[in-house]
Every structure is written in C-alpha cells, then in structure tokens.
A and B are shown apart, each in its own frame.
Chain A
Amino acid sequence: MQRLLSTTLLLVPFLLHAQARHSVSGTVRDAASGETLIGASILLLEQPRSAVLSNSFGFYSLNAPPGTYKLIVSFTGYLNDTVAVSLDRDLTLNVQLNGAGGQLQEVVVTGNKNNNNVTKPLMGVQKLSVTEIRDIPVIFGEKDIMKTIQLLPGVQAAGDGNSGFYVRGGSIDQNLILLDGATVYDPSHLLGFFSVFNSDAIKDVTLYKGAIPADYGGRLSSVLDVKMNDGNSKDYSASGGIGLIDSRLTLEGPIQKDDGSFIVSARRTYADLFLKLSKDTNTNKSSLYFYDLNAKANYRLGSKDHLYLSGYFGQDHLGFSNSFDLTYGNTTATLRWNHILNSRLFSNTSLIYSKYNYTIGINSGSNDIGINSYIKDLHFKEDLEYFISQGNKVNFGVDVIDHTISPGVISASGTSSFNPLNIPNKHALESALYISHDLSPTDKININYGVRAGLFTVLGPGTFYRYDSSGNAIDSSVYSSGKTVINYFNLEPRFSMSYKLTGSSSVKMAYARTTQNLHLLSNSTSSNPTDVWIPSSNNVKPEVADQVSLGYYRNLKGNDYELSAEVYYRDMQNQIDYKNGAQLIANTTVESQLVYGKGRAYGLELYARKKVGKLTGWISYTLSRTERQIAGINDDSWYPATQDRTHNLSVVGIYKLNKKWTLSADFVYYTGNAVTWPSGKYQVDGQIAYLYTERNGYRMPAYNRLDFSATLQGRKTKKTDSYWIFSCYNVYGRENPYSISFEQDPGDASKTQAIQYSLFRWVPSISYNFKF
C-alpha cells in the first residue's frame, strides 16, 4: 500500500507537466432556473476520449491540442447542446441546457442516451434525480429519496416504518449520509415513517456502495450524498404540496439575476391536529409532529469564485399528556467556497457544522427526569480537482472533523427518584488526506485509483477504563483536556477499473477498504432516536471493511436499456454486538456492555432498466448472504445477521398513459429477516420463560408488497405547474410482519401463542402539488 501511495505521489508532478494543450472549462446550468447540473456529460466530438462529467458544482474542464472542435454537452432530461470551439488558448465556456420540452414526464421519455454507466470506472454507484423519483409510489404520497433508493439493487429496506437501510450486508449506522457535505446522524422523522430529506429542496442523490471514492470516508458500507438545490437565479417562484399528513412550501429566486440565488423550503406535518379534537384529556394534550427547514443561498463573486451557504434544521416532537415528551432533530450548516485557480484546477473549501440532539422529559407528579444528549461536528474540508489531460484527472484534499459527543446529561429535581448525572463529553479528531487519480491508458480502459490516509485521535479530558472479560473495570487512566488517549491510523486504498468490451458493454472491477470510527449503539429491532453514538476508544477498535466487486454492464438499443450484473464480497472486522441485557442509555461505562466480532457479506446483484418510451422502470434482484461471528454467540460459529436476506426483488414501472395521466407501480419481495425464536419454554416464578437455542436461527415470513400511484398533470406553462398524486401503499393489504411476539394465550392459561404485529395495510393518500 505504501508503494501505491508513493507511486501516486511520484506521478502527480509528471502529470502536472502535460504540455501543449489548451483547456476549455466552465459551468453547466439549467437554462430556465440557472441551477447547476451535476454529472452532465461534456465531450469534444473529434476527441471521443475527452468526455468528462461536470462535478458537484456543475464545473467541468477538458483539454485538447490546439484546433477547432465541436463541444457537445448532454444531461438526462435535457436537449443536447453543441458549441463550436476554437482552441487556440484556454477558454471559459459556460453552457446552459434547455429542458426537453419542459414537461417532466417527457424528460423520462426523451431520456438520457449516454452510456456513462458502461464507460466510467466507478462501480456500485446509483444516481437519482428528484424528477426521476416523482412518479414512484411511496407511503403517505410523500416522495422520499430514502424510500426510493431502497428499491435499488444491493440496498435493503430495514422494514415498514423505518427509514434505515442496509447496503451489502452493512448495518444502518454504516451508511454515511451527507446533506451538502454535512453528516446527518439520524435521517428519519417520526421514528422512520419519513426521511429528513424534503425532496422539494433536493437536487441530486448519489449512492456509493462499491468503489467509494477516496474523498469520502468514515463509514463502512456506503455513502449517500444528497445535494440541495441552489435556487432559481433567473426568476422568483413558489412551489409546494398539500397532503393528508403534511404540507410543503418552497420559495426561491435570484439574489442578483444570474449571479446569485436563494431557496427556502419548509415542511410540517399536521396529523397531531386531530389529537386536539379528542375528548380524552390525555390525548388532546398530546403532540406528535415534525417540521423542517432547508435554506440555501449562493452568490458568484466574479468569474472565478462562488460562495454557497446552506443549512438544514429539523425537529420532531412527541408528547403524551403532560407527562412525557421527546424532542429530537438534526441541524446542519455548510459554507462553501468554489475557486477556479486556473482553467484546470478547481478548488472547493467547506466549513461544515452538524449536530444531532435529543431531549426527553418525564414528569409524573414529583418524580421528574430530563435527559439531554447530542453529537456535534465541526468539519473543515478542502477538495482540489486537477484536470490534466483527456481522461486524466487528480482529486486530492484534506478533511478534518472535530467530534464532540455528550452521551447524556440527566437533570432531576430534589423530589425525583433519579440523581442528576452528567456523563462527561467525549472528544475525538478525525482527519484524513486523500488523493485519487482517474486515467484512461487506452481507449478501452478507465482506471480510478487512490488512497485515503485517515487518523482518528481520541482526546481527553476524560477517564478511560479497561475492562475484564465480564465487563468489570480493572483500571482507569485520567487524561487532561486535549491530551491524546489513543491514535488509530488507517490507510484505505481504493481502486476501480473498467474495460470496454464493445461500444455498449464493459466489465469493471473494484477494491475498496473503508474504516469507521463512530459507532451507533442500538440493541432494539430498529433504530431509535435515543440511540447513542460512541467514538472508537482504547476498548472499541475501528471497524474495517475490505470489499472486492466485479461487474458486467451492457446497454441495448442505443442505450435505451441498461443491464448490469455485479458480484461482491465484503469482509468486516471489529463489528460491535451487545452483551445480554446490555444497558446502553446513560451509562458511564457503556463500553463494558459490548462484545466484538467479524462479519462477511457476499452476493449477486442484477439490474435491468428501461430508460425511454411510454413504459419506463427497472427490475432489481439481489441474491446475498450476510453473516456474523461474535465471541460467545452460537458457539463462536458464523450465523446469519438480522438483515441477511437471501432474495430481494424490486420492480418499478412507470407508464405514461397520455399527456394528463401517468401510472406507476412498484412491487417488493424479500426473504424475511433472520430472527431468534424460542425452541421451548419453562417456568420461572410461576411465569412462562422461553428457551432459546441459537441466535437468528429462524426466519420471519417473506415480505411482499405492491404500491400503486397515479399522477394527474394539471395545466402546465413555462412558469406554472400543478399536479395531483393519488397513491395506495400496499394495494393488496398484505399483513407484513413488523414483529412477532410470544405470549401466554389470554383465552387459555395452559397455552402459549405467537402473535404477529403488522403496521400498514392499504394506506391511501392524495396530494396536490403546485408551482408558480
């Protein structure tokens, strides 16, 4: 690995001296709104290998020997633009693309005819634009990117009533979820019924599950990179939606025409208003809602600099009578400065703040208790992109995050049953240097390789314990403020490569090592707002994963159809599990409650997508296995992880009936979770206790569901738009098990029985959406 790093570093100066070429660079935007377009394809017709994609800020740069060329810019759902360029010097060329016919549905019809999926080396990458997900049915009619990505291959839903997802056998906390670069620690609202991402404020979503690029780090399984809209820089507009559960409103417009814009988007649910109508005094004093706010502003300072400021604030509130309330939410803020150092060197500097906190208040007469907890990041990131020559690019940068975790502060009055308690904050510094290089040594081969060198520093102040095998503290060391407790250094090589077999087919392979130093402690069936994050420490080692994957990609009928097959194998070290009866909340010695082990996951993912025509959609199928080996569990042998699902099938179909109606449906089927059920019972103190013989030895019944949705397009002009969405979740009312509980039969004291609980049957919804 050391060698790969030094080779890369040696290569850089050589590459920087590529000569006698001129570059053309600029920003690609939507002609109507001025929004930058991420991932647009730019190429010189006479130099087919010159193709590049615009970066996260719409910037592109490519270069070629002096001459006259035709520059072609294309992007999903937009008309191609061709510009004649005369490369006798370095040029700046900003491009504005017009939407295809201006009709969203027709976007899908016109489609993206490029074959980036075949030619780019990155594998295990899925990109979705918000327009693509509009027609996919979801629960409560609220389009939701978190639910939509769960229909993609290799991504598994955690289940009904849960926004969490598993990627290639990883657990929920092993996904890095970013909103404009800021970590979102809990991406769910209302305990998972909704995600925090308001799709009106979202521009682009990319999920990396295989070859994670070197500029991302910190989680084991995947990166979900969500980017917010910049706002319309041409004109003011308002858009929104009214649904049964919530309403949304977005305002956007120019700060200065073409040079700056803003967008503010807000949502609130109002299901709890019905509680107020209740006659029951406990119920009508209860509350249950969330709201969130996305805001972003950007301003261009001259031709080389661009500033972006964006933020998110969301809060959930659950309260019962006057005796219990829980408030939780995320706050993020991102300040970014894009600077074009020269036509080949693009710099992005980010200052990011991110916080997740929860507060619980319990009040019952004189017995009261309040619990506060948070995790807070201050994050600096510098990314540089150097466009060397055609197909030849270097990304490098530095990434430093200061983490502060407050595991819990308990406040209680003098008459409370509880003592006030302040569990000391935990501090850690997560820093990394990365470099990656894209190159295409021949017409057929594209390579991306790189390395991320990460250092995780656990800092004082604090008392750090060591534990014996039964979890008793055997000694402790006290560290003063800022003192280093332990350093973990990890080198993470990343490599991916594509080999073009024909113009429309390729094979790709990838290897990636990832590490994770923040761990979410959760021992319930699904994630809770009160789950605790802990950093690596003297006891908790960094989680490490190595993944290899291999894939075959084939486009048919001029890229109208995309087919792919990928196989992967992932090995995971230092995985965390919990002791029997582990006490995770407000525990100063929480690390004594943990046990460690290994994981492995492997599988085959098949994906077929039809991108154009009246009928569009995809089929995704995953055949996989996910296993764990934890000391002391199942005689130390490998056993299926909870999320081990042999089969996982999603089918999504969108049919454009006519100019007014679009119909869509999705079908989901997957093998039930591996679960622990009793293999007998016995009596303790006159009560029935259940006898367990092994962890995860049984299977939940298979999950399946069909959803349906119909979109009625209202009158649409260049400026205004409106549409209705009618949908039904779980059309045939399948009672998918949420949990199965073992209980005494209330009707017959001599028997025990298994009770299956299900959440959703037939959830119909209507929403009205507008823009003017």
Chain B
Amino acid sequence: MKRSFIFFGLSAVLFLSCQKTVKLSLNTAPPQLVIEGQVTNTPGPYTVTISRSVAFYADNDFPGVSGASVLISDGQGVTDSLTETSTGSYTTHVLQGKPGNTYTLSVRLNDTTYTAESTMPQPVALDSVTFDNAIGGNSLRAQVYFQDPPDVKNYYQFILFINGSQFTKDYFVFDDRLSDGRYITQKLQMDSSYLSAGQQLKVNLQCIDLNVYNYFNQLAQATSTGAFNTTAAPANPSTNISNGAYGYFSAHTISSQTVTVH
C-alpha cells in the first residue's frame, strides 16, 4: 500500500504541499549499454533493440547501437540470427514463440558477449476491461479482470495502447503472491489522470517470468513520482542480462482486449 494514498488526503485537507521545478547539479555516468529483447506467443518477427544511456538533462534521444551480432535460440534446436533493420533495432526471421520454451539471447558487441534467458509462461486470458473514477478525483482509470490459475506462481505485466500508441508513463505489474487462484480485479492506477472518455484503449495482459517481473517491479518503484512515492534508496533494477548491460529479455504471452473509454 502506497503512502501517497494516505498522504493525498492529508495534504489536500491541510493545503500544505507545494511543488516547483529545480535544476540539480547531476553527474553524468559514461554511456551504458541497454538491451531490450522480447519473444511472445504471437507471430514474429520479434525485435531486440540496443541503445545507450544519456545525461539526465539531455534530450530523450537514446542513440541506437549498430554492428552487434544478435542470436536468439529456443532450446528446441532453432537458433535465429537477427538482422539489423534500422540503427540499433534487430529482428528475427524464423523464430516462433511458444509457452514453456526457454529462450536464450546472446548479443556480441566489441568482443563482449551479453546473454540472457527467459522462460515463456503458460498464457492467461484477459476477460474484460472496465473504467471507474479514482478516489478523491474525477480521473478515469482502467480496471482489468482475469482468472488467475491456481497452484502456479503467475507474474503479470499490463501494456496499454491509447488510440494506437503505447502508453509510456507508468509500469503496471502484478503477481499472485496473495491472490493465487482468485478471479482478479486489478486497477491500473497512477498518480495523475491518463484516460479520457472516447479514447480507444487496448490492454495487453502479458504473462512474464519471475526475473522479468522483478525487473519491472523494481523499475516501477525506482521511477515512481510524486511527493510521497519516492523510495528511500532507488536503485537500478536487477536485470536478467549478464555482463553489466541494462535492460531485460522477456519471453511472454499476450492476451488483448480493446475497448472504448467511457
């Protein structure tokens, strides 16, 4: 449970909180390699992107990294060698994701090899999506419904597309640690309003493995915003990629629903 929830009311009542933009003197770490790779149970091709980090006050323009040798194998005898289709973006040719398979990513760049492994869980179907008003405000948020399979550990990620473009302001993850086997009602909420009536909302329910869940759960904590949400010691999420690269490699299933926001 987030402290913000409690504090929201308190500061609203007392009218005490105020905010302003500050310019901080932040160091700039040397550019770090960031690898993102996905294999899903929907038809390929699948993409691996490689980029580098930039300074905090630089533009959100992350240079792609060319010239890497990228391989994904499915543990069943298929190894796909990816082709760089645009700067830093590498795509598969023959690979087809299947639940239960363990996929291995290997990226070779400047004599260093970065590897990662991810096992695609069994799929869970997204039943439906509804909307309700957030507490203490009039902002709409989505609520998703699905049946959690009993007796297995399940980890979920929700990816939202609003009018066709991916929503990139928050990470939504959920695990069944306290909900095994339940019919799940989960609110996709964030501090500020992100939906308005009439929009087309597509929700992807993704079943991810434990390492990927940990990665996004930690990332969600480290990037949470607002007066009361900041954790005491934010840190880089623990990745499943070896050799000091940032990012993640995820083999996951996707179940989608598209609805009109109302």
Show the binding face of A for B, using Cβ within 8 Å. 190-191, 193, 271-272, 274-275, 282-283, 286, 288, 318, 320-321, 323-324, 326, 360, 364-367, 410, 415-419, 421, 523-525, 528, 530, 578, 580-581, 583, 585-587, 642, 676-693, 695-698, 701, 735, 737-744, 749-761, 763
- The interface bits of chain B over 156-183 (1 if a CB of A lies within 8 angstroms of the residue's CB, else 0) are 0001000000101111000001111111
Cβ-defined contact, B182 with A326, below 8 A: no
Cβ-defined contact, B227 with A757, below 8 A: yes
Cβ-defined contact, B10 with A741, below 8 A: no
Cβ-defined contact, A320 with B22, below 8 A: no
Cβ-defined contact, A680 with B9, below 8 A: no
Cα distance A494–B180 in the bound complex, in angstroms: 52
Count of A-B residue pairs with CB < 8 Å: 235
From known contacts A692-B234, A692-B236, infer whether A678 and B1 are also in contact, taking CB-CB under 8 Å: no
State the Cβ distance, B31 to closest chain A Cβ, in Å.
8
Which B-chain residue is minimally distant from A274 (CB atoms)?
B13
Cβ-defined contact, B182 with A530, below 8 A: no
Cβ-defined contact, A682 with B182, below 8 A: no
B231 at the interface (CB under 8 A from A): yes
- The interface bits of chain B over 138-166 (1 if a CB of A lies within 8 angstroms of the residue's CB, else 0) are 00000000000000000000010000001
Cβ-defined contact, B56 with A419, below 8 A: no
Neighbour of B180 across the interface among A320, A419, A586, A763, CB < 8 A: A419
Neighbour of A679 across the interface among B29, B223, B227, CB < 8 A: B29
Which A-chain residue is minimally distant from B60 (CB atoms)?
A750
Cβ-defined contact, A191 with B56, below 8 A: no
Cβ-defined contact, B32 with A680, below 8 A: yes
Which A-chain residue is minimally distant from B157 (CB atoms)?
A685
Cα distance A737–B228 in the bound complex, in angstroms: 12
Neighbour of B19 across the interface among A191, A586, A690, A757, CB < 8 A: A757
State the Cβ distance, A405 to closest chain B Cβ, in Å.
19
From known contacts A191-B10, A364-B187, infer whether A682 and B54 are also in contact, taking CB-CB under 8 Å: yes
Cβ-defined contact, B222 with A690, below 8 A: yes
Neighbour of B14 across the interface among A271, A757, A758, CB < 8 A: A271
Neighbour of B182 across the interface among A271, A419, A763, CB < 8 A: A419
Which B-chain residue is minimally distant from A271 (CB atoms)?
B13
Which B-chain residue is minimally distant from A737 (CB atoms)?
B22
Cβ-defined contact, B221 with A754, below 8 A: no
Quick one: which of B32-86 are within 8 Å of A by CB?
Answer: 32, 34, 36, 51-62
Cβ-defined contact, A741 with B225, below 8 A: yes
Cβ-defined contact, A687 with B182, below 8 A: no
- Count of interface residues, chain B, beta-carbon cutoff 8 Å: 83
Cβ-defined contact, B6 with A326, below 8 A: yes
Cβ-defined contact, A750 with B61, below 8 A: yes
B36: chain A residues at CB < 8 Å are 684-685
Cβ-defined contact, B22 with A756, below 8 A: yes
From known contacts A750-B60, A754-B21, infer whether A676 and B234 are also in contact, taking CB-CB under 8 Å: yes
A691: chain B residues at CB < 8 Å are 29, 32, 53, 236, 246
Neighbour of A586 across the interface among B26, B34, B178, CB < 8 A: B178
Cβ-defined contact, A288 with B13, below 8 A: yes
B27 at the interface (CB under 8 A from A): yes
Cα distance A684–B168 in the bound complex, in angstroms: 9
From known contacts A271-B13, A530-B1, A688-B223, infer whether A683 and B60 are also in contact, taking CB-CB under 8 Å: yes
* A-B contacts, 16 listed (Cβ < 8 Å): A193-B10, A271-B13, A288-B13, A320-B5, A581-B214, A581-B238, A676-B235, A681-B53, A685-B159, A690-B222, A691-B32, A739-B230, A755-B21, A757-B18, A761-B16, A763-B16
Q: Which of A320, A686, A687, A696 has the most CB of B within 10 A?
A: A687
Which A-chain residue is minimally distant from B145 (CB atoms)?
A417
8 more CB-based (< 8 A) A-B contacts, given A190-B10, A321-B136, A742-B223 = A272-B13, A324-B5, A364-B187, A682-B51, A682-B62, A687-B168, A690-B222, A761-B16
State the Cβ distance, A158 to closest chain B Cβ, in Å.
12
B184: chain A residues at CB < 8 Å are 417
Cβ-defined contact, A523 with B179, below 8 A: no
Cα distance A749–B184 in the bound complex, in angstroms: 34
State the Cβ distance, B245 to closest chain A Cβ, in Å.
11
Cβ-defined contact, B179 with A366, below 8 A: no
Neighbour of B178 across the interface among A421, A580, A690, CB < 8 A: A421
Cβ-defined contact, A754 with B9, below 8 A: no
From known contacts A283-B136, A687-B223, A688-B223, infer whether A740 and B230 are also in contact, taking CB-CB under 8 Å: yes
Cα distance A32–B62 in the bound complex, in angstroms: 76
Cβ-defined contact, A756 with B60, below 8 A: no
Neighbour of A524 across the interface among B21, B28, B179, B231, CB < 8 A: B231
State the Cβ distance, A391 to closest chain B Cβ, in Å.
47
A735: chain B residues at CB < 8 Å are 18, 20
- Cβ-closest 8 pairs across A and B: A757-B227, A581-B218, A682-B53, A686-B168, A679-B29, A367-B185, A687-B168, A679-B27
Cβ-defined contact, A318 with B6, below 8 A: yes
State the Cβ distance, B3 to closest chain A Cβ, in Å.
6
- The interface bits of chain B over 224-262 (1 if a CB of A lies within 8 angstroms of the residue's CB, else 0) are 011111111111111000000011100000000000000
B135 at the interface (CB under 8 A from A): yes
Cα distance A682–B51 in the bound complex, in angstroms: 8
State the Cβ distance, A509 to closest chain B Cβ, in Å.
35
A676: chain B residues at CB < 8 Å are 233-235
B171: chain A residues at CB < 8 Å are 685, 687
Cα distance A95–B171 in the bound complex, in angstroms: 70
Cβ-defined contact, B11 with A759, below 8 A: yes
Cα distance A751–B21 in the bound complex, in angstroms: 13
Cβ-defined contact, A525 with B231, below 8 A: yes
Neighbour of A684 across the interface among B27, B187, B247, CB < 8 A: B247
Cβ-defined contact, A692 with B223, below 8 A: no
B238: chain A residues at CB < 8 Å are 580-581
State the Cβ distance, B146 to closest chain A Cβ, in Å.
10
Cβ-defined contact, A741 with B20, below 8 A: no
Which A-chain residue is minimally distant from B137 (CB atoms)?
A282
Cβ-defined contact, B59 with A751, below 8 A: yes
Cα distance A690–B237 in the bound complex, in angstroms: 10
State the Cβ distance, B59 to closest chain A Cβ, in Å.
5
B17 at the interface (CB under 8 A from A): yes
Cα distance A282–B8 in the bound complex, in angstroms: 13
A698: chain B residues at CB < 8 Å are 24, 26
Neighbour of B7 across the interface among A191, A366, A755, CB < 8 A: A191
Cα distance A684–B249 in the bound complex, in angstroms: 11
B186 at the interface (CB under 8 A from A): yes
B55: chain A residues at CB < 8 Å are 680-681
Neighbour of B26 across the interface among A193, A587, A678, A684, CB < 8 A: A678
Which B-chain residue is minimally distant from A588 (CB atoms)?
B177
A761: chain B residues at CB < 8 Å are 16, 18
State the Cβ distance, B13 to closest chain A Cβ, in Å.
6
Cα distance A761–B19 in the bound complex, in angstroms: 11
A757: chain B residues at CB < 8 Å are 17-19, 226-227
State the Cβ distance, A281 to closest chain B Cβ, in Å.
11
State the Cβ distance, B165 to closest chain A Cβ, in Å.
9
Cβ-defined contact, B223 with A525, below 8 A: no
Cβ-defined contact, B1 with A585, below 8 A: yes
B219 at the interface (CB under 8 A from A): yes
Neighbour of B185 across the interface among A366, A642, A738, A739, CB < 8 A: A366
Which B-chain residue is minimally distant from A530 (CB atoms)?
B1
Q: Which of B9, B54, B229 has the most CB of A within 10 A?
A: B9
Cα distance A531–B9 in the bound complex, in angstroms: 20
Cβ-defined contact, A680 with B28, below 8 A: yes
Cβ-defined contact, A581 with B237, below 8 A: yes
A690: chain B residues at CB < 8 Å are 56, 222-223, 234
Q: Which of A417, A692, A697 has the most CB of B within 10 A?
A: A417
Cα distance A512–B9 in the bound complex, in angstroms: 44
Neighbour of A689 across the interface among B14, B24, B187, B222, CB < 8 A: B222
Which B-chain residue is minimally distant from A743 (CB atoms)?
B225
Cα distance A17–B56 in the bound complex, in angstroms: 75
Cα distance A423–B166 in the bound complex, in angstroms: 40
Neighbour of B223 across the interface among A689, A693, A753, CB < 8 A: A689
B247: chain A residues at CB < 8 Å are 682, 684
Cα distance A706–B238 in the bound complex, in angstroms: 43
